[in-house]
Amino acid sequence: MAKRIYFIDGAFREKPISSVEDRGMFFADSIYEVVRAKNGEPLFLKEHLKRLEQGLREIRITPPLHPEELEKIIRKSLKKLNSQEASIYIQITRGKEPRSHLPQKKTKPSVIIITSEFKPLPRKLFSKGVSLMMHPDIRWGRCDIKTTMLLPNVLGKIEAHEAGYFDTLFYKNGVVTESTSSSFFGIIEGALYTHPEDNNILPSITREKVIEITRSLHIEVIEQAINVEAIEKLEGAFLAGTTYDILPVNKIENVSVPISETVKMVQTEYQKLLDRLSKRSQNAHLKN
């Protein structure tokens, strides 16, 4: 089992002990983030913490810690873990109290941070691509809030694996939204399409970086949902996320999707961005 560092409610702990009477457990009354780290540097940390704070305010939880305090805890966790590749899971719940739909105003939010060794997906998937199955998007109407209410996502992942696919691609009102745990991009007539930011998708940080990279390559980016019927027209497609990076798609249901040069270019440039960020951190540590 991969090494893990636990920080729960103000202290580092050897075991993940927490109360069963937690609103995160009863009602998924909580917000979470997953941050990647390379060479001890948490990538895009400020963007993740900003989205975490926005999510907490959306569900009316007062942030229990300032972003700078969270950053200190995360960096201390990474030092304790001492791993080249790491993932940091941050979850803030409304707190511990006897089960009731109406929360008590005095309840103090709980903070859980789990830092663990990260093992990337097999390298062959980044060259050969992965397959996706289609499924109606039955998630709640505020997918833009990163809550732990992920049962439809979990079921989508299970059904995909049982059917021999890598993941599920959700669709709603005749258009593609996203996968169970990442953003979806498709190439049609040379342009890169992705669902616009609204309540139907998560405002992914990797998605934002991909759009910036693609535009820097002078490739047209169109933030417009892809019709399900247009999947047959795809000249390339990929998933983008914190734990996936840029993962090519080679098949959606019975439709084969080529791994285009555009996909490879975005992969290369995104990896360069991650390398620059981690090297910048290493240089800063050497100077200090």
My answer on whether 134 and 75 are in the same domain is no
Show which of 100, 117, 134 is a domain's final residue: 117
Is 284 domain-assigned?
A: no
> What share of the chain in percent tops pLDDT 90?
91
> 98 and 165 share a domain?
no
Q: Tell me the residue type at 34.
A: V
Catalytic residue among 38, 96, 146, 172: 146
Residues 89 and 181 in one domain: no
Residues 46 and 95 in one domain: yes
CATH number at residue 267: 3.20.10.10
Last residue of a domain, one of 50, 82, 117: 117
Helix axis angle for 261-287 and 205-216, nearest 10°, is 110
Task: Give all strands of the β-sheet with 4-8 in edge-to-edge order.
Answer: 11-13, 4-8, 110-117, 85-93, 30-38, 41-42
Residues 146 and 234 occupy one common structural domain: yes
| Spatial separation of the C-alpha atoms in residues 226 and 108, rounded to whole Å | 43
Residue 25: give its domain's CATH number. Answer: 3.30.470.10
**Long-range contacts, stretch 96-99, CB < 8 angstroms, 24+ apart:** 96/19, 96/21, 96/22, 96/23, 97/21, 97/23, 98/21, 99/21, 99/26
Q: Can 119 be counted among the known catalytic residues?
A: no
31, 56 Cβ separation under 8 angstroms: yes
Residue 109 has pLDDT above 50, yes or no: yes
pLDDT digits (tens, 9 = 90+) for 158-208: 999 999 999 999 999 999 999 999 999 999 999 999 999 999 999 999 999
Residue 66 lies in a domain: yes
The pLDDT, as a whole number, for residue 76 is 97
* Same-domain status, 198 and 251: yes
Residue type, position 248, single letter? P
* Residues 155 and 260 occupy one common structural domain: yes
Query: Does residue 184 sit in helix, strand or coil?
Result: strand
Confidence of residue 69 (pLDDT cuts 50, 70, 90): very high
* 287 within domain boundaries: no
Q: How far apart are CA 236 and CA 257, in angstroms?
A: 6
Q: How confident is the model at residue 286 (pLDDT cuts 50, 70, 90)?
A: very low
Range of the domain at 95: 4-117
Reported as type and span, the H/E element at residue 156 is helix 151-162
Shared domain for 181 and 227, answered yes or no, is yes
Q: What is the pLDDT of residues 225-277, one digit of tens each?
A: 999 999 999 999 999 999 999 999 999 999 999 999 999 999 999 999 999 98
CA dist list (Å): 125 to 129, 148, 165: 5, 27, 13
| 40 and 169 co-located in one domain | no
Could you give the number of structural domains in the chain? 2
* DSSP string covering 88-130: EEEEEES-B-S--SS--TTPPPEEEEEEEE--PPPHHHHHH-E
| 61, 159: one domain | no
217 located within any domain: yes
Q: What is the pLDDT of residue 280?
A: 67
Same domain, 102 and 137: no
> Within this chain, do residues 80 and 184 fall inside the same structural domain, yes or no?
no
Q: Examine residue 281 and state whether it is found in any structural domain, yes or no.
A: no
